[in-house]
């Protein structure tokens, strides 16, 4: 504190003490002493306090959180290097830092009557609420089919900024980049794909239709200069057709179901008929097999008899017949020795005839033969 102020307070203290003594009638003297200040030592404290005030007022720093990207702007020029999460300083007035959300975001195209809260939209498409930082609700996309019939498409698009390209993206498209990159691209692609189909065929080809939309949107987004956006997924939510088309589709489905029932009945009848034919054929084949077996047995037996006769016939040689004749003649002679009046009968049969000898004596009657 300045010297003159110290002197002033000293004088005030002394005078005050005299007044008190006079008024109190000889009371104790009270000396008021102000603290002594050294100007040279106090100056750094003043400067530090002034700097703290300036820092509080100007705040020349920014803290970037995880999932965010910072852009340092110097006199209106965007720095090409993105600022990662952490503490970053800048020069007030000349510089500033813009913080941009680089987490996953969702753009939901939903009909007016189906608009709900962010959590409702995310539950509808099966997306974890915590994984999406924000949702932008848009109206359903109005499209025309191949014949010019109007209908609407509801879908959800999940995307996020390409962190490495954030400064360039913001310098080209601005902070309203979503409505300049995502929304027009999605609407254009969906309308182009819908124009390839007839409206009543889309429900039956839903997977094909959804895949075509997804592929074309990814292709269009990736074709943007510098690839500013990373597309996570595109999910088809609803195909909103006119009432007449829905009725027509229902009728077609009923007809198809009835036709399917008829086809099943015909198939069952055909299977039953084929079963009966198979049984009949099996029985016929069995009978044929049995008849063939009987015929084969008869043939085998006949062949055996023929073979036997052939063997017997081959065995009747001239020498054998002559031998048999000699043997028969010998039996004649034996019979005549017994009785010269004996009657001899020849019975044809076989290679050698049977010989019956009648000896006039029944007790001695005998049969001689081969």
Query: For residue 322, is it within any domain?
Result: yes
Phi-psi region of 110 (alpha: psi -120 to 50; beta: other; left: phi over 0): beta
**234 in the same domain as 106:** yes
Q: Could you tell me which of 139, 140, 138, 136 has the C-alpha nearest to residue 151? A: 140
Residue 198 belongs to what domain range? 102-241
Number of structural domains found in the chain: 3
The answer to whether the beta carbons of residues 358 and 347 sit under 8 Å apart is no
Cα separations in angstroms, 166 against 15, 26, 66, 161, 205: 73, 83, 15, 7, 38
- 228 with 172, same domain? yes
Lowest-pLDDT range of 55-69, 163-177, 181-195, 345-359: 345-359
Name the most confidently modeled range: 27-31, 173-177, 266-270: 173-177
Where does the pLDDT of residue 251 fall: very low under 50, low under 70, confident under 90, or very high at 90 and above? confident
Q: Are 275 and 349 part of one and the same domain?
A: no
- Using a pLDDT cut of 90, give the percent of the chain over it: 36
Same domain, 221 and 338: no
Average pLDDT over residues 190-194: 96
The two structure tokens encoding residue 20: 């008190």
Same domain, 360 and 266: no
- State residue 367's pLDDT score: 46
Which H or E run includes 235? strand 229-240
Q: Cα separation of 138 and 184, whole Å?
A: 12
* 148 in the same domain as 203: yes
For residues 79 and 356, which has the higher predicted lDDT (pLDDT)? Answer: 79
**Is the residue at 206 inside a domain?**
yes
| Secondary element (H or E) of residue 162 | none
| pTM (2 d.p.) | 0.55
- Establish if 50 belongs to a structural domain: no
> Angle 83-86-90 (CA atoms, 0-180°, nearest 5)?
60
Residue 118, pLDDT above cutoff 70:
no
Query: Domain with 138 in it: what CATH number?
Result: 3.30.479.30
Q: Decide if 77 is inside a domain.
A: no
Q: Per-residue confidence at 243, pLDDT binned at 50, 70, 90?
A: confident
Q: Per-residue DSSP letters for 209-222?
A: HHHHHHHHHHHHHH
Q: Note whether 297 and 166 are same-domain residues.
A: no
Asked if the structure places residue 6 within a domain, the reply is no
32 in any annotated domain: no
The percentage of residues in the chain with a pLDDT greater than 70, rounded to a whole number, is 72
Within this chain, do residues 356 and 276 fall inside the same structural domain, yes or no? Answer: no
pLDDT for 17 equals 46
Top-confidence residue, 55 or 101: 101
Residue 234 resides in a domain:
yes
Residue with tokens 């002033």: 8
80 is a domain residue: no
- Kindly list the distances between the CA atom of residue 111 and the CA atoms of 142, 213, 222, 257, 322, in Å, as whole numbers in the listed order: 10, 18, 28, 31, 125
* pLDDT greater than 60 at residue 258: yes
Is residue 152 located within the same domain as residue 230?
yes
- Contact residues for 108 (Cβ-Cβ < 8 A; gap 6+): 121, 125, 135, 136, 137, 138, 156, 157
Q: 298 and 322 share a domain?
A: no
- What is the spatial distance between Cα 97 and Cα 62, in angstroms, rounded to a whole number? 7
- The residue with greater pLDDT, 201 or 342, is 201
- Average pLDDT on 281-292 reads 83
pLDDT band at 157 (very low <50, low <70, confident <90, very high): very high
How, if at all, do strands 105-110 and 134-139 pair?
parallel
Under 8 Å between Cβ of 135 and 121? yes
Is 49 a residue whose pLDDT tops 90? Answer: no
125/88: higher pLDDT = 88
Rounded to an integer, what distance in angstroms lies between the CA atom of residue 137 and that of residue 159?
14
pLDDT for residue 126: 56
* 155/235 same-domain check: yes
Together in a domain, 249 and 126: no
């Amino acid at each position: 504190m300045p010297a003159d102020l110290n002197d002033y307070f000293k004088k005030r203290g002394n005078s005050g003490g005299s007044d008190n003594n006079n008024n109190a009638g000889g009371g104790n003297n009270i000396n008021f002493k102000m603290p002594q200040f050294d100007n040279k030592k106090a100056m750094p404290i003043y400067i530090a306090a002034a700097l703290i005030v300036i820092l509080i007022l100007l705040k020349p720093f920014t803290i970037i959180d995880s999932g965010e990207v910072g852009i340092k702007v110097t006199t209106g020029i965007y720095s090409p290097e993105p600022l990662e999460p952490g503490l970053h300083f800048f020069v007030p007035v000349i510089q500033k830092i813009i913080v941009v959300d680089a987490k996953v975001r969702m753009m939901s195209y939903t009909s007016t009557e189906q608009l709900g809260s962010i959590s409702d939209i995310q539950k509808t498409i099966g997306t974890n609420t915590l994984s999406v930082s924000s949702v932008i609700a848009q109206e359903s996309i109005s499209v025309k089919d191949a014949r010019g019939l109007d209908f609407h498409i509801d879908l959800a698009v999940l995307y996020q900024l390409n962190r490495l390209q954030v400064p360039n993206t913001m310098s080209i498209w601005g902070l309203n980049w979503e409505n300049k990159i995502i929304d027009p691209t999605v609407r254009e692609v969906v309308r182009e794909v819908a124009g390839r189909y007839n409206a009543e065929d889309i429900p039956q080809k839903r997977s094909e239709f959804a895949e075509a939309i997804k592929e074309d949107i990814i292709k269009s987004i990736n074709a943007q200069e510098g690839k500013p956006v990373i597309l996570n997924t595109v999910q088809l939510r609803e195909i909103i057709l006119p009432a007449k088309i829905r009725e027509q589709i229902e009728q077609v489905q009923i007809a198809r179901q009835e036709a399917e029932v008829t086809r099943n009945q015909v198939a069952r009848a055909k299977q039953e008929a084929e079963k009966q034919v198979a049984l009949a054929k099996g029985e016929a084949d069995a009978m044929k097999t049995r008849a063939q077996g009987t015929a084969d047995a008869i043939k085998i037996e006949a062949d055996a008899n023929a073979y036997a006769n052939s063997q017997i016939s081959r065995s009747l040689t001239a020498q054998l017949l002559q031998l048999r004749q000699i043997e028969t003649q010998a039996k004649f002679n034996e019979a005549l020795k017994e009785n010269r009046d004996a009657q001899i009968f020849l019975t044809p049969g076989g290679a050698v005839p049977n010989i019956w000898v009648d000896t006039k004596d029944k007790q001695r009657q005998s049969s001689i033969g081969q």
